[in-house]
Amino acid sequence: MQHLEELLDQDIQFTGISHVVELFPAPIPETIPTDDEDYAVDEASELFRMSHWFGSTELYLPAGTTLTATTSNGESTVSAEDFLKFQLKYVTTETLYYLVSKTDTASEVAEILDFDAEYDKDDEYDPEGWLNEYNSDSFDQGIAYLDRLKEESADDLLSIIAKGCLDENYGLLQWPDENISDNWFAKNKYDEWDVRIAIVFEGKFNPYTSAEIIENGLMLDDYVIRSVIVRNYDEG
């Protein structure tokens, strides 16, 4: 099994990826404010790769526990967890914040730092509360806490979230609810949600990257979308 970071001195093409997950505010947008003009969304597939306009970064998930990374030196097998950790290193802090709530990892993330030591310094220290997406008043504290972990304990943080994203019980590909590619207006049932909505694009995706461009996220030059599904892990 090849460690992905060891390949970054080359251009890398990934295959074996079946899903892309994006996080959108409720209600699911019919208009997306881009730099140039508002973009009208008339069908579910037009949401694809548009979540960055709302502060979050898309995530690519493989069909199984591994995927293939192809470079000029040939093919390497990479674990799904390593691939997720690699992506999470470059997503926005807002994306990490929403993923923590989506994957039930807040309690684990809250335990990375020693609670007693932190509470002695701040008697309002409450990382699990800060990371609860339903507590919108503590959003800034949650973001600040995650920014601190990215500086001090990045490997622990990203490992926990990557495992959560892939978990067979509460991972991002579990709890599919509504296929809005069949009925775009079925999205309206989520209009009153208080949290971000996870949209799962199912199909075939072949992203690529290299050390020079990874900070901008994975690039994509070939894909097929077969369905667009709203995930509902008891959010609504």
- For 168-199, the pLDDT digits (tens) are 999 999 999 999 998 999 999 999 999 999 99
In a domain, 72, yes or no: yes
pLDDT tens figures, 151-173: 999 999 999 999 999 999 999 99
Average pLDDT of the residues of the chain: 94
pLDDT over 80 (residue 234)? no
Per-residue confidence band for 11, with pLDDT thresholds at 50, 70 and 90: very high
| Predicted local confidence at residue 7, as pLDDT | 85
Residue 192 structure tokens: 């009153």
Residue 147, Ramachandran bin (φ over 0: left; ψ between -120 and 50: alpha; else beta): alpha
- Res. 102: pLDDT tops 80: yes
138 vs 126: CA distance, rounded Å: 10
> How many independent structural domains does the chain possess?
1
Asked whether residue 15 is assigned to any structural domain, the reply reads: yes
Is 80 exceeded by the pLDDT of residue 48? Answer: yes
Tell whether 116 is covered by a domain.
yes
φ/ψ of residue 43, rounded to 5? -155, 160
Spatial neighbors of 185 by CB under 8 A, at least 6 apart, are none
Cα–Cα distance measured from residue 73 to residue 215, given in angstroms and rounded to the nearest whole number: 23
Residue 236's pLDDT band, with cuts at 50, 70 and 90, is low
Where do the H-state alpha helices sit in 30-138?
Answer: 80-88, 93-102, 106-110, 115-121, 127-130
| Structure tokens, 57 | 């970064």
Average pLDDT over residues 77-104: 96
Q: Where are the beta strands (DSSP E) in the chain?
A: 12-15, 17-24, 31-33, 38-40, 59-62, 66-71, 74-79, 176-179, 197-209, 219-231
Does 51 fall in a domain? yes
> What residues make up the domain containing 174?
4-231
Bridge partners for 225 per DSSP: 203
Q: Is residue 236 part of a domain?
A: no
